[in-house]
């Protein structure tokens, strides 16, 4: 590939073979890991058999999606400082998970978020609501990842045109459904671990190389970078992306709020805490994940400015895949075709693994909450529950293939930020109230889930992200009336208020006995059977 060329050219063979090797190895691992995969506990939670460090690596793998690896390094390369702001939010966010959520969730639930939210409430409506929220958030997140796969392939495999990208997206979908069907949570977790280790090695290598090249001076990298962009030195200052008007500044604060509150409310992240045997291991896994994420995002800062310094922002913007191509282009500059092939395969594997995790979460939520507890009222036989989960995984896979093809070409990091806003609005207030507020009751739960979810959805539909701006999904029509691209600053507080009002206006009081059970269990594990 020549950097100024339109595509990767002669490296397609290397890219495809590195990628095929990865898929074969992981499929083998998934197959080996799946020998005992018949019970619901095995399928949903890997029999809670992972250690804290293993789960911590898998957690960071879940979150190091294509959006964060390609999107953030690209964001830094094109927008400088404003791209860096994303990574700060995504690191700080883990403190929420560590102190407020991880241990209590592990002690209280078994397989899904619905287990926790419905613990002391009326089972059926709350489980249905929790499952609705999980499905909506997971689908949003999944479509974003699938759309990213198409864009990525344009660059890496020189697949041009909508038909070609559609085929790529379909292949991703089929492989990921295979992972989930064969491997369940155990297989999916091992894929995440392998992928996270490869990705971290990749970015560490590139970072050390860049630092070495510039005499271990971040300032030198940034200065060279700032000579390679039309923004000049202002690329190093805040405001390149969000500095325009008062509204865009407010939009930025809203985005930052969604980032910090959304990460540990994502259903597939929450579900990871069930793969460890007890609360102490859940805590250790967040500690590990935090350390890995901090390292990773420090590396992306260097990689982003490094791409600017060695490749230049105009080349990046002109490459197929736009911003997202910064890291692959830099890999080619640094390590030639082989490193590009590895980075490409890792980035693609990232999408595959994250989508597999999301599919598993969505199918668990449907089978465990909706099928077993709402439709069968808790009398479903566990084997049929797992069968329903597998069927749901296939259906979800198909839906996300269709959604991914429809949304291909959209801005990936932006779609992910919307999914985070949804998670922070629908899940976070409900989890916090449920764990820490004695009087919180069934109607409060329903109000805050549906209030957060629907207000967030409505604001997204009528935001400039959907219509009325050149960058929106429907640029030719204009039906927007909400001025911000990210609704978090409105919908998250609104969901807290809904939960509070719903609780106050309800005639049925919270059940003090169940509340005592939940509080004691969430803090000590008594009654959960965990050691």
Interface residue list for other proteins (CB under 8 A): 81, 84-85, 88-89, 91-92, 94-96, 98-100, 217-220, 222-223, 226, 233, 236-239, 242-243, 249-250, 252-253, 256-257, 260, 280, 283-284, 286-287, 290-291, 294, 297-298, 512-513, 516-517, 519-521, 523-529, 531
Nearest distance from residue 353's CB to other proteins, in Å?
24
Nearest distance from residue 362's CB to other proteins, in Å?
25
Nearest distance from residue 525's CB to other proteins, in Å?
7
Nearest distance from residue 249's CB to other proteins, in Å?
4
Nearest distance from residue 462's CB to other proteins, in Å?
23
CA atoms within 13 A on the CB side of 200: 19
Nearest distance from residue 468's CB to other proteins, in Å?
23
Nearest distance from residue 99's CB to other proteins, in Å?
5
Closest CA to 496 of 265, 275, 283, 314: 265
| Residue 2 Ramachandran class (φ > 0 left, ψ -120 to 50 alpha, else beta) | beta
Closer CB to other proteins, residue 406 or residue 523? Answer: 523
Output the DSSP codes for 368-384.
IIIIIIIISTT---HHH
> Which residue is it, tokens 């910090």?
260
Nearest distance from residue 294's CB to other proteins, in Å?
5
Q: Using alpha carbons, list the distances in angstroms from residue 104 to 185, 233, 437.
A: 21, 47, 14
Q: 308: which strand partners?
A: none
Residues 6+ apart with CB under 8 A from 188: 30, 179, 180, 353, 356, 357, 360
Closer CB to other proteins, residue 292 or residue 340? Answer: 292
Closer CB to other proteins, residue 9 or residue 527? Answer: 527
Closer CB to other proteins, residue 64 or residue 352? Answer: 64
Tokens of 265: 């409310």
Nearest distance from residue 20's CB to other proteins, in Å?
37
CB burial of residue 73 (10 Å; 0-12, 13-18, 19+):
buried
Nearest distance from residue 526's CB to other proteins, in Å?
5
Nearest distance from residue 251's CB to other proteins, in Å?
9
Closest CA to 182 of 402, 346, 393: 393
Closer CB to other proteins, residue 203 or residue 358? Answer: 203
Nearest distance from residue 120's CB to other proteins, in Å?
11
Closest CA to 365 of 376, 373, 355, 356: 373
Alpha-carbon dihedral 31, 32, 35, 38, rounded to 10 degrees: -40
Q: Using alpha carbons, list the distances in angstroms from residue 437 to 190, 279, 444, 518, 522.
A: 37, 21, 11, 11, 13
CA 39 – CA 452 distance, rounded (Å) = 34
Tokens of 111: 């397989």
Question: What single-letter DSSP state applies at residue 466?
Answer: T
Q: 305: which strand partners?
A: none
Length of the chain: 531
Closer CB to other proteins, residue 195 or residue 284? Answer: 284
Closer CB to other proteins, residue 241 or residue 395? Answer: 241
Tokens of 78: 């094109």
CA 482 – CA 460 distance, rounded (Å) = 8
Closer CB to other proteins, residue 409 or residue 493? Answer: 493
Distance of CA 424 to the CA centre of its chain: 13
Nearest distance from residue 436's CB to other proteins, in Å?
8
Closer CB to other proteins, residue 115 or residue 396? Answer: 115
Closer CB to other proteins, residue 483 or residue 512? Answer: 512
> Which residue is it, tokens 């078994």?
110
Closer CB to other proteins, residue 161 or residue 215? Answer: 215
Closest CA to 429 of 448, 457, 455: 448
CA 422 – CA 492 distance, rounded (Å) = 9
Closest CA to 481 of 469, 495, 473, 491: 469
CB 305 within 8 A of CB 229: no
Closer CB to other proteins, residue 12 or residue 100? Answer: 100
Q: Coil, helix or strand for 155?
A: helix
Closer CB to other proteins, residue 76 or residue 353? Answer: 76
Residues 6+ apart with CB under 8 A from 223: none
């Amino acid at each position: 590939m020549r950097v100024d060329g339109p595509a990767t050219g002669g490296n397609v063979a290397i890219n495809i073979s590195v990628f095929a090797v990865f898929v074969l190895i992981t499929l083998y691992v998934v197959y080996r890991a799946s020998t005992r995969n018949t019970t619901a506990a095995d399928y949903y939670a890997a029999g809670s058999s992972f250690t804290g460090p293993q789960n911590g690596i898998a957690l960071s793998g879940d979150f190091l999606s294509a959006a964060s690896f390609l999107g953030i390094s690209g964001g830094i390369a094109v927008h400088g400082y404003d791209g860096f702001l994303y990574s700060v939010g995504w690191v700080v966010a883990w403190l929420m998970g560590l102190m407020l959520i991880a241990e209590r969730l592990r002690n209280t639930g078994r397989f899904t978020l619905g287990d926790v939210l419905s613990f002391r409430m009326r089972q059926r409506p709350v489980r249905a609501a929790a499952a609705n929220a999980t499905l909506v958030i997971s689908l949003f997140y999944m479509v974003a990842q699938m759309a990213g796969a198409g864009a990525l392939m344009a660059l890496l495999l020189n697949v041009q045109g909508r038909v070609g990208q559609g085929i790529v997206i379909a292949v991703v979908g089929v492989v990921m459904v295979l992972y989930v069907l064969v491997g369940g949570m155990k297989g999916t977790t091992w894929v995440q671990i392998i992928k996270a280790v490869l990705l971290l090695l990749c970015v560490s290598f590139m970072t050390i190389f860049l630092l070495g090249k510039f005499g271990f001076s971040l300032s030198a990298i940034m200065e060279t970078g700032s000579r390679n962009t039309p923004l000049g030195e202002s690329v190093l200052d805040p405001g390149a992306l969000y500095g325009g008007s008062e509204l865009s500044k407010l939009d930025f604060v809203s985005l930052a709020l969604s980032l910090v509150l959304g990460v540990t409310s994502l259903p597939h992240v929450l579900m990871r805490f069930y793969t460890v045997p007890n609360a102490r291991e859940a805590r250790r896994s967040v500690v590990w994940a935090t350390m890995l994420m901090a390292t990773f995002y420090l590396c992306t800062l260097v990689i982003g400015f490094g791409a600017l310094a060695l490749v230049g922002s105009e080349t990046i913007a002109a490459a197929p895949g736009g911003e997202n191509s910064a890291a692959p282009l830099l890999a080619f500059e640094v390590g030639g075709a082989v490193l590009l092939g590895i980075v490409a395969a890792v980035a693609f594997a990232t999408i595959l693994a994250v989508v597999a995790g999301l599919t598993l979460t969505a199918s668990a939520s449907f089978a465990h909450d909706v099928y077993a507890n709402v439709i069968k009222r808790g009398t479903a036989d566990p084997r049929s529950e797992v069968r329903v989960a597998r069927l749901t995984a296939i259906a979800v896979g198909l839906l996300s293939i269709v959604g991914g093809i429809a949304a291909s070409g959209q801005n990936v990091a932006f779609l992910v930020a919307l999914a985070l806003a949804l998670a922070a609005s629908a899940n976070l207030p409900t989890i916090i109230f449920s764990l820490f507020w004695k009087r919180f009751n069934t109607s409060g739960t329903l109000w805050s889930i549906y209030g957060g979810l629907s207000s967030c959805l409505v604001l997204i539909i009528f935001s400039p992200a959907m219509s009325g701006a050149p960058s929106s999904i429907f640029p030719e029509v204009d039906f927007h009336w909400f001025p911000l691209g990210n609704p978090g600053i409105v919908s998250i507080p609104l969901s807290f208020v809904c939960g509070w009002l719903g609780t106050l206006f309800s005639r049925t009081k919270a059940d003090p006995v169940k509340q005592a059970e939940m509080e004691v269990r969430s803090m000590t594990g008594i009654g959960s059977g965990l050691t």
